[in-house]
């Protein structure tokens, strides 16, 4: 990415065809699609890229087994169509960034033959809907094989499992790779810059937006022929800035996850818990040396607290533990995350777990604002294609094909399955560091390792038990627009998901490297560390985990 100052100048001085507001998966996808179609595009994000729902997902690239069940039970063709679209998109997501997304095996344990038949029939329909895009065929797995693949599963009464395949990915890094690819294609992207108002032409249509630079406090204007609102749960607020008479459409729903050491429930396969006390499913998924457990689904309001509440954590353990030989305890949790699903609903729909995860493109005829609402991570590309089709129609330019189906993302060129082994040997790296760098940055890891020629001490870890090296921090500050400790630890390096306490330990060094690179004022480091520590200690305290 361009340095932030250069991106800001470009954002201020250029006349754009399209301004995309919101740098989550949807906005980054829209920006890339528009830029690749030859539209001059700017992407403006209020906080950090991927700081909303797009880094808080279960990290599944999936059609949605639960949505399929809902669709079949209620004969909902719309929902079935959505599962089909998602399964088609799954293939594109996996092939466009192989270092960030992969096919994974899931097991649904069964304790009665009736249930086994029910789930197997369901998963065969899932395979059928996926068609040529199916990853591996589903099937019945014997009790012995199930316990071999998931040795931590409770064996009492176990008949076996139904296996099926879906995708798994690194959501925050995928989002960042979309932004990077957009910038490489000639686009301009700026983070920490909320849109605060719109500028209107004489005909009442919006032709620009007022932006506040949250780092410097300056305000400036961005000029664009068309503005796209991709602000997730912020969508209604932005729609109201353009046209206060628009009715609200978003029904945000909160979901939380916990992370544990992977050894506590060993195995390469993921577990799907098929029934919860509120009629949903939850997952326990091996993810980057951790076990990811989630999620919840509760309607959110202005009073919703954005952290994992103890009650929510206990709910997750209550659903998962009956399936485990050795129950997990809350005090074993290493970290967690919470997020808001930007669901879109009709005026009377309130039960968020029943809302289908479809998307809708709205063109406000009064202001001209194009809003993309709803959807899910897996369908971000399809949503972006639909949105930019609308944008081209609105601009009155010829409709061109989206070029994103087969467009490898930054870090994919030169990456293959041996990449991690190669850099481990070539740069004498510890195996966990090599795996981490190749899994987060793909072939761009080489640019990080080249920084060691500038300062050999940057090969040190930022905390003793994290696979993150100092060179990675410097790289992300110089090349990925990281502006805060949280940008670095939560989204660029993933350290905060690996381990909250280790991240607290890493914060002073991360802040110091950031301050050096950015020439921040004296006093910055202490204040930034204090702010970050207060936040993470708040997460720990809420769950009754020992503070540092
Ligand atoms: C708990 C949970 C689990 C999920 N699991 C999965 C899963 O496994 N698979 C899947 O496919 N999907 C999953 N999803 C859904 C998926 O994460 C979301 O649908 C997707 O990330 C939404 O992306 P988005 O860009 O629309 O929203 P967001 O990621 O929230 O991005 C919106 C962005 O807009 C910015 N913004 C807001 N207001 C302004 C403004 N005024 N100016 C500029 N910027 C602004 C915000 O800062 C934010 O970064 C899950 C979601 C949650 C919460």
Q: DSSP per residue over 319-342, as a string? A: HHGGGBSS---GGG--EEEEEEE-
177-192: b (≥16 Cβ within 10 Å) or e: bbbbbbbebebbbbbb
Q: What ligand 1 atom has the least distance to the C-alpha of 231?
A: 34
pLDDT digits 0-9 by tens, 480-539: 999 999 999 999 999 999 999 999 999 999 999 999 999 998 899 999 999 999 999 999
Contacts of 349 (CB under 8 A, 6+ apart): 251, 355
Pocket flag, ligand 1, residue 41 (CB < 6 Å)? no
Mutation probe of ligand 1 site: the residue of 20, 22, 178 with most atoms within 8 A of C-beta: 22
* CB 238 less than 6 A from any atom of ligand 1: yes
**Cβ(27) – ligand 1 distance below 6 Å:** yes
Q: Ligand 1: distance of its center to the CA of 231 in Å? A: 8
- Report the nearest-CA residue for atom 31 of ligand 1: 24
Distance between CA atoms of residues 518 and 514, nearest Å: 6
Ligand 1 neighbour 25 (Cβ under 6 A)? yes
Q: Which residues, at least 6 apart from 106, have a Cβ–Cβ distance to it below 8 Å? A: 163, 164, 165, 166, 269, 270, 271, 272, 283
- Residue pair 28/179 in contact (Cβ under 8 Å)? The answer is yes
Half-sphere exposure of 245 (CA within 13 A, CB side): 4
Specify the residue for token string 């899932």: 126
Ligand 1 pocket, residue 21 CB under 6 Å: yes
Query: Is there an atom of ligand 1 within 6 Å of 194 CB?
Result: yes
| Angstrom distance (rounded) from CA 482 to CA 485 | 8
Going by pLDDT thresholds of 50, 70 and 90, the confidence category of residue 72 is: confident
- Asked whether 334 lines ligand 1 (CB < 6 A), one says no
Using the atom order of ligand 1, give the atom closest to the CA of residue 51. Answer: 49
Q: Is the pLDDT of residue 118 over 90?
A: yes
Q: Which of 477, 483, 481, 429 is nearest to 452 (CA)?
A: 429
Ligand 1, residue 195: give the atom nearest the CA.
42
pLDDT tens digits, 263-313: 999 999 999 999 999 888 999 999 999 999 999 999 999 999 999 999 999
Question: Hey, how many other C-beta atoms are within 10 angstroms of the C-beta on 429?
Answer: 21
Any ligand 1 atom below 6 A from CB of 308: no
Percent of the chain that is helix, strand, coil (3-state, to 5): 45, 20, 35
- CB neighbourhood size of 9 (10 A): 14
User: Is 371 close to ligand 1, i.e. is its CB under 6 Å away?
Assistant: no
- Residue 411 in tokens: 């870090």
Q: Which residues of 389-419 are buried (b: 16+ CB within 10 A; e: fewer)?
A: bbbbebeeeeeeebebeebebbbbeebeeeb
Q: pLDDT for 25-66, tens place per residue?
A: 999 999 999 999 999 999 999 999 999 999 999 999 998 887
Residue 60: CB within 6 Å of ligand 1? Answer: yes
Q: Which residue has the CA at smallest separation from atom 21 of ligand 1?
A: 54
What are 362-399's pLDDT values in tens digits?
A: 999 999 999 999 999 999 999 999 999 999 999 999 99
Is 341 close to ligand 1, i.e. is its CB under 6 Å away? yes
What is the per-residue pLDDT for 354?
Answer: 58
Say what the pTM is: 0.97
């Amino acid at each position: 990415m361009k340095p932030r100052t250069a991106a800001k100048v470009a954002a201020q001085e250029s006349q754009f065809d399209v301004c995309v507001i919101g740098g989550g998966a949807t906005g980054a996808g829209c920006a890339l699609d528009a830029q690749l179609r030859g539209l001059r595009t700017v992407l403006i994000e209020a906080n950090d890229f991927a700081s909303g729902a797009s880094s808080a997902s279960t990290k599944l690239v999936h059609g949605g087994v639960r949505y399929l069940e809902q669709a079949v039970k209620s004969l909902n063709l719309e929902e079935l169509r959505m599962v089909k679209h998602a399964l088609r998109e799954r293939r594109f997501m996996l092939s466009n960034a192989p270092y960030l997304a992969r096919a994974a095996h899931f097991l649904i344990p069964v304790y009665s033959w009736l249930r086994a038949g029910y789930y197997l029939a369901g998963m065969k329909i899932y395979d059928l809907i996926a068609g040529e895009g199916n990853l591996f065929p589903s099937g019945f797995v014997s009790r012995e094989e199930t316990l071999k693949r998931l040795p931590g599963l409770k064996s009492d009464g176990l008949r076996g499992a139904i296996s099926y395949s879906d995708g798994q990915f690194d959501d925050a890094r995928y989002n960042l790779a979309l932004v990077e690819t957009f910038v490489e294609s000639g686009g301009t992207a700026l983070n920490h810059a909320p849109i605060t108002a719109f500028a209107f032409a004489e005909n009442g249509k919006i032709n620009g937006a007022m932006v506040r630079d949250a780092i410097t406090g300056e305000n400036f204007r961005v000029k664009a022929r068309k503005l796209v609102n991709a602000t997730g749960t912020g969508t209604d607020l932005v729609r109201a800035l353009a046209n206060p008479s628009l009715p609200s459409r978003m029904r945000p729903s909160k979901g939380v996850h916990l992370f544990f050491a992977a050894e506590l429930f060993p195995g390469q396969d993921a577990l799907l818990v098929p029934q919860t006390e509120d009629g949903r499913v939850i997952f326990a998924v091996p993810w980057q040396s951790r076990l990811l457990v989630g999620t919840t689904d509760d309607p959110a309001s202005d009073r919703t607290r954005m952290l994992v509440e103890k009650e929510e954590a206990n709910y997750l353990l209550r659903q998962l533990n009956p399936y485990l030989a050795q129950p997990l305890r809350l005090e074993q949790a290493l970290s967690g995350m919470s997020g808001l699903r930007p669901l879109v609903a009709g005026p009377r729909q309130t039960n968020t777990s029943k809302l289908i995860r479809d998307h809708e493109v709205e063109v406000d005829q009064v202001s001209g604002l194009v809003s993309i609402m709803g959807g899910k991570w897996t369908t971000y590309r399809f949503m972006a294609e639909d949105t930019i089709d609308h944008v081209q129609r609105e601009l009155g330019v010829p409709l061109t094909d989206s070029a994103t189906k087969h467009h490898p993302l930054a870090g994919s060129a030169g990456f293959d399955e041996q990449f991690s082994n190669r850099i481990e040997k070539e740069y004498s790296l510890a195996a966990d560091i090599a795996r981490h760098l190749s899994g987060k940055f793909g072939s761009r890891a080489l640019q990080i390792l080249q920084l060691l020629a500038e300062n050999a001490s940057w090969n040190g870890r930022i905390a003793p038990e994290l696979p993150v090296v100092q060179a990675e921090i410097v790289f992300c500050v110089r090349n990925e627009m990281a502006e805060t400790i949280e940008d670095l630890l939560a989204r660029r390096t993933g350290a905060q998901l690996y381990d909250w306490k280790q991240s607290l330990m890493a914060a002073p060094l991360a802040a110091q490297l950031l301050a050096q690179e950015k020439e921040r004022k004296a006093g910055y480091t202490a204040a930034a560390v204090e702010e970050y520590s207060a936040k993470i200690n708040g997460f720990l305290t809420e769950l009754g985990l020992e503070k540092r």
